[in-house]
Every structure is written in C-alpha cells, then in structure tokens.
Structure 1
Amino acid sequence: MNLHAKNTMPYRRVLIPCLSLLMLAATAASGGAAAAPLRASAAVEDGQRDFDWEIGTWHTTVRVLADPLSGSADEWLHFEGTSVVRRLLDRRANVVELTVSGPDGRIEGLNLRLYEPQAGRWSLTFVNLRDGLLTPSVSGRFHDGVGEFYGDDQLGGRAIKVRFLIFRQGPDRARFEQAFSDDGGVTWETNWIAVDTPIDTGS
C-alpha cells in the first residue's frame, strides 16, 4: 500500500501512504545536442515506471501512532485490510485505494500520484473521503531503491514537515513509513507504518 492521507479517526492526522528518477540535464556542448533529447526521453519513461511493481491488490497491515508530536509515542492503533493500485494515463499517474479497519475504527482513502517529467519526480496527494478535500502533496523520487517524499503541512495549527518513505523489500513485500517533524526536519517522529504483501498483480 502507499498513500498520503488524513485519518478518519478521532486522533488528529495520518498520512498514508507514497517515487521517481533524477532528471537528466541536457548539455549544449557541440556534438551532444542531438543525443540529449534521447537521454531525457529515456529518463522520463523510466521514471513513469517507478510504480509498475505495485500495480495490483495488496494485503495491508497498518500501525498508526494515536497522537503524533504529543510527547507520547506509546499508543499505537492497528488496522488491516487492502490496498488496490491502478495505473492511469499510460503510467503518468496511478491511484491507490486504501480500505483498512480494526478495533479503533476504519480508514478509507485515495492517493493520487502524478509524475512530473520536467522535474523527474512524483507528487503524492491524498483525497480525504471524510471531507472531500485534497491534502498538501509530498514530492520526491527513489534513491538507491528507497522512495523519499517530503512536504509541508499543519498539525493542530502549527507548521510541520512531512516525510514519507517507501521500501520495496523484495517482490512480495513493501513497507511504507510516515513521519512528522516540528523542528524543521532536524528530528522526525514516525507515526504510520504499513506493510503490504500481494494478493494478486495485474495491469
């Protein structure tokens, strides 16, 4: 699974999760101008394939910190369900539909991921089904097999930074972690951990 989301629970906020490629710079050097568009085109195509491995239906287990950035990191809520990832617009976008539930309630959400070819990155935006609003996006790309996405948001009226990480742990397992920072990114507190295993795959 993988999203960026606000929760539907009494506790304050959850992002779900959650990848791209460094943009190739074209050179104006003599003799290199003709080859540069081909390299840039290859980079765009490769970046658009970043989520191909995830298309399909996944079993999802989620742990959510009950009260992020409160000074108490002891109470975690537990959920289980599915994440369905669908490809859109010839790999230039995809959408994740998350449905999980547990003793503390239910979380449902959509995560829209859009590829930005000029920047060589993805933006991840959660649709909050409770109020019908879009949350602020997180943006980023893959580095050495790990997806790293960052953005700005608010929690309880104060400005925070959001970090979302995606770890592909082999063909049959993926891990997603969200963390908040209220000191400008000096320290981070993880508040969302999801682990996915495939139910099926397909286009």
Structure 2
Amino acid sequence: MTIQYRRIPYRRFLTVGLSALMLLATAASGNAAPPPPASTIADGQRDFDWEIGTWRTSVQVLADPLSESPDEWLQFAGTSTVRPLQDRRANVVEFNVSGPNGRIDALNLRLYEPQAQRWSLTFVNMRDGLLTPAVYGGFRDGVGEFYGDDQLGGQPIKVRFLITRTSRDVARFEQAFSADGGTTWETNWIAVDRRVRS
C-alpha cells in the first residue's frame, strides 16, 4: 500500500544538506552557547524552546487524503528529537516512527524570520530526500498555526499545520489539506508527543 501523505508532514531536504544539518544539530545540542537575554529576542523567536528534547510519538496517517475512498488510518509509533540551532533561532526535528505499514524517517527544519516575525517549517521525507514547500506562521494564544501551498495528485491544495500543547509534557500536531482554497479542511495527520524524561 502506498501512503499518500504530504510526502509526510516532516518534509523534504536536499541530501547533501542533511549531513551538514545533522552535524550542526549534534554540535548544537552538546555545546550550544547560552541563549541570549530575553530583552534581545525578537517576538516569537523562542516559540519552540519548550519542544527542545526527546519525545515519544504516536502518529495516525490518513492513507488516501482528499479522495472518495473510505477513511483508513495507519498507525505508527517511535520518537521525535528536537535540537536547537543558531542560538535557538532555528531547530531541527529528527522523526523516526514505524508500524504495521512500514517506517517514516523524516526531518523538519524550522527557521525564524525576524523581518516577518514568523516561522517557516520545511519537511523532508528521508525516503525520497526532497524538500516540500514550507508552511509559514507562528503561535497565538498557545496554538501554532502554519499555512502553505502544495500539490496532491497534480492538483493545487492548501496545507494547514497546527501545534497545540495540551500540557507541559504533551503536544499535538495536526496536518490538514484543502482542495477548495481553504473553505473546508480534511485532517490527514495527527501526532501526539509525550516528553521523555532523562
């Protein structure tokens, strides 16, 4: 069975850049400089600080989004590890889950754009090593909302990615597609992360 998610919501990266990125992430996690004082931080720049660390991840993926097929949800479980980069103005998520339908190994690079006061989230599925178009946004009232454009089956779609902290140590991630310009949305990815304590 072919899994039809957005080349997975932990999206694409150029293969050459991946090795360098992971080296940077490993170095940053062990030898990161102390974060700058709060007074020097732009609005939103520290929105992902709470997520740095390792999480147990359970994932549901809609097998065939935006189709007439009956809903079939595929189940996966594994880990997500979030590493800071560049004084936490960027971070990378290393995502590894598996289930009866196979494995998902992916990365998500998040970059803060101070001039726009927003984050971009760009994903790579390690199966194909290709970047997907980024989604853009930020957090408001504790909920992260990110939007972008992509294609599914050669047709243009809108993409929405939501991040909600349900508690200090639990977070929920949802991806949805819209084929009608954002009037209606179909959720196709739900991940729940629980923090792994040292």
The answer to whether the Cα contact below 8 Å between 2:64 and 2:71 also exists between their aligned partners in 1 is: no
Q: Which moved more, 1:138-147 or 1:72-81?
A: 72-81
1:12 corresponds in structure 2 to: 4
Cα distance in 2 for partners of 1:173, 1:72 equals: 32
The structure 2 residue matched to 1:183, chosen from 157, 180, 184, is: 180
Change in Cα spacing, 1:175 to 1:43, as seen in structure 2 (3 Å) is: farther
Q: Which has the higher contact order (CA 8 A, sep 6+)?
A: 1
Q: Which moved more, 1:45-54 or 1:177-186?
A: 45-54
CA RMSD of aligned residues (A): 1.8
Cα distance in 2 for partners of 1:116, 1:56 equals: 22
Amino acid at match of 1:10: T
Change in Cα spacing, 1:117 to 1:42, as seen in structure 2 (3 Å) is: farther
The answer to whether the Cα contact below 8 Å between 1:44 and 1:117 also exists between their aligned partners in 2 is: no
1:154 corresponds in structure 2 to: 151
Identity of aligned residues (%): 71
The 5-angstrom pairing of residues 103-182 of structure 1 reads: 103-182=100-179
Secondary structure of the 1:48 match is: coil
The answer to whether the Cα contact below 8 Å between 1:109 and 1:129 also exists between their aligned partners in 2 is: yes
- C-alpha deviation, 1:115, in angstroms: 0.2
Change in Cα spacing, 1:43 to 1:186, as seen in structure 2 (3 Å) is: farther
1:45 is aligned to 2:42: yes
Cα distance in 1 for partners of 2:139, 2:191 equals: 18
Amino acid at match of 1:16: P
- C-alpha deviation, 1:16, in angstroms: 2.5
1:88 corresponds in structure 2 to: 85
Change in Cα spacing, 1:43 to 1:74, as seen in structure 2 (3 Å) is: farther
Report how many aligned residue pairs link the two structures. Answer: 171
Question: Per-residue displacement from partner, 1:23-76 (whole Å, max 9, x unpaired)?
Answer: xxxxxxxxxxxxxxxxxx958434221111100000000000000000235210
- C-alpha deviation, 1:12, in angstroms: 2.0
The structure 1 residue matched to 2:55, chosen from 51, 55, 58, is: 58
1:35 corresponds in structure 2 to: none
Question: Per-residue displacement from partner, 1:112-151 (whole Å, max 9, x unpaired)?
Answer: 0000001100000012312222110000011111000000
Cα distance in 1 for partners of 2:118, 2:39 equals: 14
- C-alpha deviation, 1:200, in angstroms: 2.9
Q: Deviating runs (4+, > 4 A) in structure 1?
A: 41-44
Question: Per-residue displacement from partner, 1:140-197 (whole Å, max 9, x unpaired)?
Answer: 0111110000000000000000000000111011000000000000000000000000
The answer to whether the Cα contact below 8 Å between 1:65 and 1:73 also exists between their aligned partners in 2 is: no
Unaligned runs of 5+ in 1: 1-8, 19-40
Cα distance in 1 for partners of 2:194, 2:55 equals: 5
Cα distance in 1 for partners of 2:98, 2:133 equals: 24
